[in-house]
Structure 1
Amino acid sequence: MRPLVRTAALNGYVELSRSLDVDPRTLMKRVGLDTADLAVQDRWISGPAAVRLLELSAATSHHDDFGLRMAELRRFSNLGPISLVVREEPDVRSALSLLLRHEHMYNELLHARLSEGNGLATIKVDLRLAESGPARQATELIVGAFTRILRGFLDARWQPLSVWFAHGAPADSARHRRMFGTGLEFDREFNGIVFYADDLDAPNAMADPQLRSYARQYFDAIAATPRDTSVADRVRELIEALLPTGRCSIEQVARSLGVDRRTVHRHLTHSGETFSSLLNATRARLAEQFVASPRRSLTEISDLLGFSSLSAFSRWFHQQFGCSPREWRKEKGQEQHPGLG
């Protein structure tokens, strides 16, 4: 399966696109994504599609610093659950080591490594793309994000000694120089950041020593099992995200994963599942939660579960639970308030 990235990697994309007079919905559709995908940070989408989206957005907006503009919108929390642990590490070295060692928890495309020598430290960045194609914007977004992370660890005024990019210089590098300082170079041997190795031993400015043990306990719990244990888990996540859009199909799921439907079918078969079985199970789980709560109308629930009409939802519900949604809601209400029955 092609690598995935968390939707948080596109944090601020909609707002930035609109500010540059670009329609984000149209561009996302062209690469097989949907703006609804961005509603929840912990969803996962196709990494190659996200890379293509950034390139397309730069070309359409006529701003070849689009990736850097995205980096300026990044927050530390965009890294996901691991951010809670990394920010409590005592020094920059341990924080960076943890972040790089567990990069699969927030971006499966990314391959970053830290090296030291002659008093210098270097973070080199690569993207694991199975297909050839430009990745300038994604690369600059990632290098910019790492620069902002280091400033969070050290000081908001911190500057790297140099920042290298393997691609050529843009027509206007003003934004790049504001972000990275005077040591900016293009057409170099790698993409990355060079700084004094002494900075690695500096205390982490974000850390609270009292919270570190709690953060470590939390991290040990979420890192004990790899996030990506099966394709079925990925498909379940996508089904739940796509249901409210009314476009939850195996074709759309396959596009989000960056493969064709036959590949999805083959992987699900190996795990003893089918797309229909996962769709039905996800709907059933959500229906139990939604119908039991009186805060949502049955029509709203029907829409959230991707049914074309309330009658279609009611027929499906009766087949699953042996009663109508109204009867289920009434029964659950009596269980919660037996004195009112």
Structure 2
Amino acid sequence: MTTTEPTKAPLLIDSQYLLGTLEAAQELEIDIGEVLDQCGIPKRLLIEPEGFLSFTKVARFLDKVAKEFDCPQFGFLVGKHQPPFSLGLLSQVIKLSPNLGSALSCIDKYIPLYSQAATWGLQTLDGKVALTRRDRAGRKESGVQSRNLTMVQAFKAFKVLCGPQWTPSAIYFAHRPLGNTLTYERYFNAPVYFDREYDAIVFPEEDLKHPIATADAVLLEIVQSHLSSLLGGYKPNDDIVTKVRYHIRCRLGTRTCNLESISQLLAVSPRSLQRMLAKHQFTFKSLLTSVRQEVAIEYLRDSHISLIDLAEMLGYQNVSAFSRAFKNNVGMAPDHWRKTQS
């Protein structure tokens, strides 16, 4: 994938990654306020996530809480308390895939659009399959708590795709054991091994064929085409409008599709970004509206996607908000416009 930002820019992570932190702290009866201040993380982001945080800062915060309060499984507990994690269009692709194997292949292909911290892949292990996670930094003992959190997220995603009765064959962690290992085995309902080469969820190879109830081959092809067009990134000398439009398309339907978040990705302040866009006679809002309209037209013209799903994909609160915006720009409601194309 083409590098889209300066290499000196810090790795960023969606601030919703820390949802569940307050609940975990409450369960442990600890006050994490001072550690949040020391790590420069506003407490409000644990309640209402907004924008991105430095991944290094987040990993340091989780490790610091675990050490200072002697709770070596803190990241694991945060993951248990987290709501489902949305990845915008990638979440749509996963739900539209015909089976688990196809969904995991999509994650392997498109995750670079959404996560810079680690790489994921599939590996065969003696008749079983492992979904592996490797730190880009390649270090086993730093950021242990964040890695625990991420593995719980992945496990929850399997449960959504395969049903609540699904269980893995084993769980691997690259780090040393933390606390009472029986806690992990009870939660994952599987053997848990430590000091492995990588973090992984291991499961029977036949599970790759597990069908996904929400599969839709026609719509899947369209969404995959959309995501594939984004994999190349943009060239460093592209103008600011092209860069902003790229990031908007990547993040449609997520919490980070806004001026503040995309400013962070471009390493400028929101005010500076607005000034840069103004030189091209654009505002962030006008670009967001334009991209949403383009994508809406593509899906209404080329697929049978429901207005509910399309509104969610585009990041509108509901169908009514989407319909009003579409009508303001095109002159007719989206369902009426679709009929004219038929």
Residue 94 of structure 1 and its aligned partner are, at CA, apart by 0.5
Amino acid at match of 2:155: T
- The structure 2 residue matched to 1:220, chosen from 225, 228, 234, is 225
- The structure 2 residue matched to 1:108, chosen from 108, 116, 123, is 116
TM-score (norm 1): 0.63
Aligned partner of 1:60 in structure 2 is 68
The CA distance in 1 between the partners of 2:257 and 2:46, in whole Å, is 12
Matches within 5 A, 1:291-306: none
Amino acid at match of 1:213: V
Q: SS at 2:96's partner residue?
A: coil
Aligned partner of 1:193 in structure 2 is 201
Amino acid at match of 2:186: R
Amino acid at match of 2:113: M
Residue 217 of structure 1 and its aligned partner are, at CA, apart by 2.8
Distance change in 2, residues 1:241/1:60 (3 Å)? farther
The CA distance in 2 between the partners of 1:208 and 1:288, in whole Å, is 33
Matches within 5 A, 1:110-189: 110-129=118-137, 134-189=142-197
The CA distance in 1 between the partners of 2:200 and 2:208, in whole Å, is 16
Aligned partner of 2:317 in structure 1 is none
The CA distance in 2 between the partners of 1:157 and 1:287, in whole Å, is 45
**Would you say how many aligned residue pairs link Structure 1 and Structure 2?**
260
- The structure 1 residue matched to 2:275, chosen from 267, 278, 281, is 281
Aligned partner of 2:302 in structure 1 is none
Aligned partner of 2:94 in structure 1 is 86
Q: SS at 2:68's partner residue?
A: helix
Distance change in 2, residues 1:38/1:239 (3 Å)? farther
Q: SS at 1:67's partner residue?
A: helix
- Counterpart contact for 1:239–1:279, Cα < 8 Å: no
The CA distance in 2 between the partners of 1:228 and 1:25, in whole Å, is 38
Distance change in 2, residues 1:64/1:134 (3 Å)? same
Residue 5 of structure 1 and its aligned partner are, at CA, apart by 1.6
Q: Deviations over 1:181-216 (max 9, x none)?
A: 2411222333212211111112124x243xx53354
Aligned partner of 1:71 in structure 2 is 79
Q: Deviations over 1:76-135 (max 9, x none)?
A: 443333112211211000001101211123321011110125311012211123889622
The CA distance in 1 between the partners of 2:108 and 2:284, in whole Å, is 39
Amino acid at match of 1:101: K
- Counterpart contact for 1:122–1:194, Cα < 8 Å: yes
Q: What is the Cα-based RMSD across aligned positions, in Å?
A: 3.9
The CA distance in 1 between the partners of 2:200 and 2:20, in whole Å, is 23
Aligned partner of 2:56 in structure 1 is 48
Share of identical aligned residues, percent?
Answer: 19
Distance change in 2, residues 1:203/1:46 (3 Å)? same
Aligned partner of 2:304 in structure 1 is none
- Counterpart contact for 1:25–1:34, Cα < 8 Å: no
Q: Deviations over 1:147-197 (max 9, x none)?
A: 222222223122211112222222322321122224112223332122111
